[in-house]
Structure 1
Amino acid sequence: MPHQPLTVSGVEVTPLCDAVGPMGEAIRRPLPELFPGSAAQDDPWVLHFHCYLLRDRAGRVTLVDTGIGAADSPASSWAPVPGTLAGELAAAGVTPAEVGTVILTHLHSDHASGAVADGRPLFENARYVLQQAELDTARGAMLEQIVTPIKGQLQAVEGEAEVSPGVHVRLTPGHTPGHQIARVGELAMTGDLVLHPMQLADPRVRYLYDDDAEQAVATRVEVLDGLRAERAVLATAHFSDPFVRL
């Protein structure tokens, strides 16, 4: 079942738990290797794979990220597929056809694979919002299996943009070249800007699978400093508790 929603600036935000589990052996590493230079202990890292459902007073429906996808999705080599996004949406009273906007924070397989089902866009009436920088660097399975099927519904943005009334995206590069976060009022849906709670304690902690670790740190420090000044709420992708107030 979905987590309890939070209403922010007139928008109901419901965390949807697509999956829970550790990384598969293909990419699993001890925590000290995943977060080099940190004081992490070699404990199992169990990830929660959260997507976010946004419903405003006018009935507009936005989805932030689409999870790990089906058993044969690009995430199947390492994530606990299949994801349960469709069931989570149904439990929240939403059908895929009602979703008008899908924001993909980035094109890693655990955030975007659920955008497509059986080779077709799952959200047939939606615009799929990505940063142009992310599209420019799309390669391999994510390009062929995800981007190509949704290309007729893609909305490419550059930098900051309002993609639905009251819903904004902002370019936050480093984890990937076109990584973006989404904002509604005081709430920031952060994708992989922050992967583990230790990066809230010390935003300079690096992550092994960042595309550009130096840029990711600089972005994380800058964005978190700004969000802390606002006393914002984070809606995280992989923490056990989806909402974190700074």
Structure 2
Amino acid sequence: MTHHLVPSDALIATRRAVLRGAAAVGAGTLAAWAGGTRAAAASHHRTGTVHVVSRHTGPYEVMALLDAHGTFPLPRQEAFPDATDADWVRAERLDPAAFGADGTWELDFRCYAVRRPGGRVTLVDTGIGAAGSPASDWAPVPGRLPSVLQHAGIGRDDVDTVVLTHLHEDHFGWTVDPSGTPMFPGARHVVQRAEIAALDADDSAMSYVVEPLRRAGLLHPVDGRTKVQGRPGCAAVTAVPTPGHTPGHQSVLVDGGGRDGIVITGDVLVHAVQLAAPDVAYRLEDDRATARRTRWALLSEARTRHHVLATAHLNRPFVSP
């Protein structure tokens, strides 16, 4: 489904204001997995799309979970104003499905589950959420993460950790249900303290996610590089600060103990054009210069260590840097 938006430079300071011109789409309720009745709402999903794709590294299974697919409100050239024709040619080779008609940007909205022996799970990001979630202003809600988790054999009590890469509405939508009750009541929710500190008092993330998690005793702020699972010298899951897109953005390194690690990138790169040309800035990055340095550093380390990238918005979940 295509959204239309007339952008204004005066609105860049407020990300949601830029995106709010798109009408909310779709309707639905929670999946049976979450205790409700799931309505049919597939118009924004690609026919035949595989919603769970997995890779292994050491003892970990990393599962890409497709919450939704849609057309971004901004045309791709407006979202990435510095991209050249040559950049777009290289990007289209990497992710042809991102190139819609009339200059549109087609993107996935993806979360990741890291399952370790014994079946316990670290969930990275929670997608766009239900109808009425903060992402409803512009994203193709409702997402389908609850049913995708069910399909992957993951129950809500299997999730003992949720890592939120950052507090944009398309990454925290299923953290709570529409009543504000945490969806994963047995999980600590790992967020960089700098990300929380940067929120305005009226930011939807504060009322929709931070305060409910805080009241439930599930908010787990961290500072800097933090081992989420594992032991020193062994396979581990680690939250790694990757600022720029937001002040407290973090990525997740899943290190199986060999040379086949997986980096869950969050929004360090949101389109293949930033993989083809890392200097290309995204219009809605909080600090473009910092985001550019972060992107180069992440890609350089991934190439040196032969890591695979697990992306949130490219139409391929796992890509080589």
Normalised by the length of structure 2, the TM-score is 0.73
Amino acid at match of 2:286: D
Asked if the contact 2:114/2:121 (under 8 Å) is kept, the reply is yes
> 1:36 is matched with which residue?
81
Distance between the aligned counterparts of 2:133 and 2:69, measured in 1? 16
SS of corresponding position for 2:293: helix
2:263 is the alignment partner of 1:193: no
1:231 to partner: Cα distance:
1.8
Match for 1:123 among 170, 174, 184? 184
Q: Distance in 1 between matches of 2:103 and 2:75?
A: 7
How far did 1:2 drift?
3.1
Give the C-alpha shift of residue 221 in structure 1: 0.9
The reply to whether residue 65 of structure 1 matches residue 125 of structure 2 is yes
Between the aligned partners of 2:289 and 2:84, the Cα distance in structure 1 is 19
Query: What CA distance in whole angstroms lies between the structure 1 residues aligned with 2:51 and 2:104?
Result: 24
Q: 1:153 aligns with which of 210, 218, 234?
A: 218
Alignment partner, residue 46 of structure 1 = 106
Gaps (5+ residues) in structure 2? 1-49, 89-101, 231-235, 256-260
Partner SS for 2:53? coil
Helix, strand or coil: the match of 2:139?
coil
CA shift, 1:3, in A, is: 2.5
Query: Which of the numbers 261, 286, 292 marks the counterpart of 1:217?
Result: 292
Kindly indicate whether residue 59 of structure 2 is the aligned counterpart of residue 10 of structure 1: yes
Deviations 1:41-94 (A, max 9, x none): 662111101100111113321100000011010100000001100000000011
**RMSD between superposed Cα atoms in Å:** 1.2
- Would you say how many aligned residue pairs link Structure 1 and Structure 2? 242
Determine which structure has more spread, i.e. the larger CA radius of gyration.
Answer: 2
Identity %: 45
Q: Is the 8 A contact 1:67 1:85 kept in 2?
A: yes
Alignment match, 2:307 = 232
Q: Secondary structure at the match of 1:49?
A: strand
Alignment match of 2:205 (pick from 142, 145, 148)? 142
SS in 2 for 1:240: coil
Give the unaligned 5+ runs of structure 1.
none
Deviation at 1:111, TM superposition (A): 0.4
- From 155, 158, 167, give the equivalent of 1:98: 158
Once the two structures are TM-superposed, the CA of residue 31 in structure 1 deviates from its matched residue by: 1.3
Report the 3-state secondary structure (helix = DSSP H, G, I; strand = E; otherwise coil) of the residue aligned with 1:146: helix
Larger deviation: 2-11 or 12-21? 2-11
Distance 2:251 2:58 in 1: 17
CA offset digits 1:147-177 (Å, max 9, x no partner): 1111120111111010112110110100000
> Quick one: which amino acid aligns to residue 69 of structure 2?
V
1:171 to 207, 225, 241: 241
After TM superposition, give the deviation of residue 229 of structure 1 in Å.
1.1
Q: 1:145 Cα shift?
A: 1.1
**1:2 touches 1:14 (CA, 8 Å); kept in 2?**
no
Does structure 1 residue 22 correspond to structure 2 residue 71? yes
Instruction: Give TM-score scaled by structure 1 length.
Output: 0.95
Structure 2 letter corresponding to 1:154: L
Deviations 1:2-32 (A, max 9, x none): 3331011210111100000012xxxx22211
CA distance in 2, matches of 1:149, 1:208: 30
Contact 2:74 2:104 in 1 (8 A): no
Structure 1 residue runs of 4+, over 4 Å off?
A: none
